[in-house]
Amino acid sequence: MFDRIIALRGGIAPIRAYMPKLLPDVLSEVFDPGPVFDYAVSLAEVPDGPRAMDHRSALKVRVTF
């Protein structure tokens, strides 16, 4: 990237704009969001999620019920 002067940019995802359309599909299991997440925790393990991101062992954490 550096020798070709390529820029990589990111920003905040407008999740609230997509939620009304996508949430029903996720809840009815039409769409599987699993591949987006690389770490899953149970409700009791929620504090482990941010800790894993802080230690750079996870990028996206999913809470399973």
Distance of CA 56 to the CA centre of its chain: 14
| pLDDT at 3 > cutoff 80 | no
Give the model's pLDDT for residue 50.
94
How does DSSP assign 17-61, residue by residue?
Answer: HHHHHHHHHHHTTSS--GGG-SEEEEGGGTTHHHHHHHTTS-SSE
Q: Using one digit for the tens of pLDDT, what is the confidence trace for 9-65?
A: 888 888 889 899 989 998 999 988 888 899 999 999 999 999 999 999 999 999 988
Give the model's pLDDT for residue 5.
82
